[in-house]
Structure 1
Amino acid sequence: GLLSAHFLALQHLAWYAGELLALAVDLGRRLLPAFYTKTGIPYGTVNLRNGVPKGETTITSAAGGGTVMLEFAMLSRATGDPVYETVARRATVSLWEKRSGLNLVGNHINIDSGVWTHQDAGLGTNIDSFYEYLIKTHLLLGDSAFLRMFWTSYQGIVRHLKKGAWYLDANMHTGAVGWAVYSSLASFWPGVQAMVGDIESATESMYAIHSLWRKFGGIPEGFNLETGALHQGAEGYPLRPETVESVYYLHLATADPVWISMGVDALASLQVVSRVECGYAASHNVQTRRLEDRMDSYFLSETVKYLYLLFDPENPFRRGGHVFSTEG
């Protein structure tokens, strides 16, 4: 956020003198201690005043350890200090080098030993943005090494995780599916496929995902494809952006009005189901439509933003030259 605002301020505010970049540098320096591990994969938590907390767990997720390249690389490019990009690159490559023979990464890993402690591979929670940042790092920096890592991963994902129109979690070493539960976080994947030109596969998945939206007025956190039931403990829709993000990228790639129609469906559901007096409320259960007293920040930074861009074809941010981070 600080870096994005900094670059925009440089373009549009004549009086701006780099104050936001100074704040980004201060924050970046405070985060660096998390990366000083045996593998280079960072700790999941760092105290901004005191560094890594005493007794902090050495177990972190693939997404947590491998979703830093965009921000840290841009901080290095903006300041001329290579340390940020260096530690971020080492973290990503270290995770990548620990992939399985099926070219899949697991869910959680020990940052000291490099051993996967949770060996389920997938596109949902704790893994999703690792793959997203492989391709986005290439798009932002033109780094072919990240493009190669992405395409190798892509082949493993399609071969071992794709089940019809859906992508499910499977053992990273055997490809065996543990359960047929679709994670709502995996709904970012059609958008990534649109970025790389696999429109046919992206469209197939997007239609399937949209069928869930039409049924429930939002994508439940977990949906059992075998039983057709909501996954226990994952019945809600906390206003996540992944579905509308993918719809946006598919419209950007194809200009097909069907994606506008899907965006209209999403917007209508938000207005009918989630609108409350002071904003929009997360759904605790998409069947009962019971709401929670919360609206996460990503609703504004991603969900609403992608809908806005979808409905504004002349917006300058649609014309290229911008890469959105995993938090928009």
Structure 2
Amino acid sequence: MARIKSVVLGALLPLTFALPHNTPEDLNMKRRYDGLNSAAERTQAVIDAFRVSWDGYYKYAFPNDELKPVTNSFSNSRNAWGASAVDALSTAIIMEQKDIVNTILDYIPTINYANTTTEVSLFETTIRYLGGMISGYDFLTGPLAKLADNKENVDALLKQSQNLANVLSYAFETPTGIPFNGLTLASRGVDGGPNGLATTGTLVLEWTRLADLSGNKTYADIVQKAESYLLHPQPPESEPWPGLVGMDIDVNTGKFLDARGGWVGGADSFYEYLIKMWVYDPNRFAEYKDRWIAAADSTIQHLTSHPKPRPELTFLAMYNGRSLSLVSQHLACFDGGNFILGGQVLGNQSYIDYGLKLVDGCHETYTQTATGIGPEIFGWDETKVPGGQENFFNKSGFYITNSGYQLRPEVVESFYYAYRVTGDSKYQDWAWEAFQDINATTRVGSGYSSIDNVNVVGGGRKTDFQESFWFAEVLKYSYLIHAPEAEWQVDKGGKNKWVFNTEAHPFKVSGGT
């Protein structure tokens, strides 16, 4: 989210039987799924896509971080610790892909979290590695323990989580306790700059859960101390409306350096975690809930925007002080799901209804493009329509300023929350259509690749990168929206037994240990 972030098809149309290449025929892969309308068929199709992605990664990239599916090679953008493997664990567990689960479990104990030659992002490492291991531990010591062949490997998930947290914890050794985000582990070096709202405010769920599981309260204390500066922002002008704050924080003073933001990359998952912490433990985190309500109410009152050509659509503007910019991102499209979750757990239908409007708007960013996939960045300021997009803007209600798609999950994520809370099958159909279009456009070589232009047939150039969150998020939400009832599914009545971190790794709520 805050990135600067399996139908029983089996014998019918198993993707694992043939690995198509980037030929014109592949642009019509959606035809392979025509008529697959049952939940069992759809879930198996997503499992098949997961296995194709995993098989390509395992053959050409494991234990490196990511697969480069066009060239059948690998990259290491996340510390060279096997990001795709750790990120894939909770999805493989939920899909009950036992062979993949145990392959990952055999690998995780071998990771040396103290050894990397790259700069480490505290934020990205927390949500992917720490989140992935904690979620796996919650599942494999709980409802899906049957999937693990070796109990020692399950125990290692918690031990390795502690090892990783211990390695990272020096980031918090600052005058305020607000951590640095960019770390050089070998020298215990730091990037020395300000930290961001999301990169500071999207640690508290993972580290608190680790504290609760391990019994080491320090893990929770250090992240909650850092979060306290975000809950009580200074100076006052950094909070232009109640609950809505700036983006950059001085690590040494704890003061915000600006008053710009929105529900966009760099800020997004701070707001997401406010309500999720209350879901995790309503007794300890009542203040977080209150801050989410303040931010949600201010958002509805001040950031709501409707494009002139399509006034029925609802988007959220960005802000600088009290000046608005009519621009948003694919990353921001988690907002509908977060409002829906907030309304669900608070028993407030107005938040749910507002969230559903945001879901509708983000759905349109998909349906209006040539690929059926939404762009990285879009705008709707009628005075800034790029040349050549006038007709597109008048038809769709938005224009495109960055046409890439990086295998992002946020739109499907919000479809998932909308379906779980309303029970309306149209959201399942929207997620299925998105899955088909993503599969048709991004499938290439040994896996799935980011693309550079969602608004041309075929998606333009394949940029040869399969993100680890493709496993963790896109395929998980695409599966869960059609999957059977289970205790980890979002509960329509608001009695959630699990809560998802921003990388879609589910954790048991407090008291469920």
Same fold (TM over 0.5): yes
1:42/1:91 contact within 8 Å kept: yes
Match for residue 207 of structure 2 among 72, 93, 96: 72
Query: Does residue 258 of structure 2 align to residue 90 of structure 1?
Result: no
SS of the aligned residue for 1:194 comes to helix
- State the shift of 1:115 in Å: 3.7
The CA deviation at 1:119 is 2.9
CA distance in 2, matches of 1:88, 1:275: 39
Contact 1:218–1:269 under 8 Å retained in 2: yes
In structure 1, the partner of 2:295 is 153
Q: Tell me, yes or no, if the aligned pair for 2:317 and 2:327 is still in contact at 8 Å.
A: yes
Instruction: Out of 110-119 and 69-78, give the one that drifted further.
Output: 110-119
Match of 2:317 among 168, 179, 183: 168
Residue-pair matches, total: 321
Q: Structure 1 residue 211: deviation in Å?
A: 1.0
The answer on whether the counterparts of 2:487 and 2:497 sit within 8 Å (CA) in structure 1 is no
The counterpart of 2:261, out of the listed 109, 117, 121, is: 121
Query: Is the contact between residue 3 and residue 20 of structure 1 (CA under 8 Å) also seen in structure 2?
Result: yes
The residue type paired with residue 70 of structure 1 is L
SS, match of residue 216 in structure 2: coil
Task: Tell me the CA shift for residue 130 of structure 1.
Answer: 0.3
| TM superposition score normalised by structure 1 | 0.93
User: Which position in structure 1 is the counterpart of 2:374?
Assistant: 219
The yes-or-no answer on 1:295 pairing with 2:466 is yes
**Contact persistence 1:30–1:49 (CA under 8 A):** no
Q: CA deviation at 1:116?
A: 3.0
Q: What are the Cα deviations for residues 203-233 of structure 1, in whole angstroms up to 9, with x where unaligned?
A: 21111111110122212111121223311xx
1:305 aligns with 2:476: yes
Correspondences of 1:29-40 after superposition (within 5 Å): 29-40=166-177
Q: Which has the higher contact order (CA 8 A, sep 6+)?
A: 2
Deviation digits for residues 279-298 of structure 1 (CA, Å, limit 9, x no counterpart): 11112111232121111111
CA offsets 1:273-326 (integer angstroms, 9 cap, x no match) = 111121111121112321211111111100110010011133443164111110
Partner of 2:105: none
Question: What is the CA–CA distance in structure 2 between the aligned matches of 1:239 and 1:324, rounded to whole Å?
Answer: 19
Q: Distance in 2 between matches of 1:283 and 1:108?
A: 30
> For 1:1-328, what aligned pairs fall within 5 Å after superposition?
1-11=132-142, 12=145, 13=148, 16-17=151-152, 18-53=155-190, 56-98=191-233, 100-103=239-242, 104-142=244-282, 143-164=285-306, 165-171=314-320, 173=321, 175-177=322-324, 179-197=325-343, 198-216=351-369, 217-226=372-381, 227=385, 228=393, 229-231=399-401, 234-288=402-456, 289-290=459-460, 291-318=462-489, 320-328=496-504
Structure 2 unaligned spans of 5+: 1-131, 307-313, 344-350, 386-392, 394-398, 505-513
* Distance in 2 (alpha carbons) for counterparts of 1:311 and 1:88: 35
Deviation sequence 1:47-78 (CA, Å, 0-9, x none) = 3343233xx23211100011011110011111
Partner amino acid, structure 2, of 1:23: Q
Q: Distance in 1 between matches of 2:166 and 2:198?
A: 21
Q: Secondary structure of 1:230's partner?
A: strand
CA distance in 2: counterparts of 1:168 and 1:33, whole angstroms: 36
Q: Could you tell me which runs of 5 or more consecutive residues in structure 1 were left unpaired when the two chains were aligned.
A: none
Identity of aligned residues (%): 27
Matched residues in 1 for 2:420 and 2:274: separation?
20
Inter-partner Cα distance in structure 1 for 2:205 and 2:498: 12
Aligned partner of 2:465: which letter?
R
Give the drift of 1:101: 4.6
Whether the aligned pair in 1 keeps the contact of 2:333 and 2:362 (CA below 8 Å) is yes
Q: What one-letter code is carried by the residue in structure 2 that aligns with 1:61? A: G
The DSSP-based 3-state class of the residue aligned with 2:249 is strand
Distance across 1 between alignment mates of 2:433 and 2:352: 21
Q: Which amino acid aligns with 1:119?
A: A
Q: In 1, distance between residues paired with 2:133 and 2:261?
A: 32
Which residue identity does 1:113 align to in structure 2? Answer: T
Quote how far apart the aligned CAs of 1:118 are.
4.2
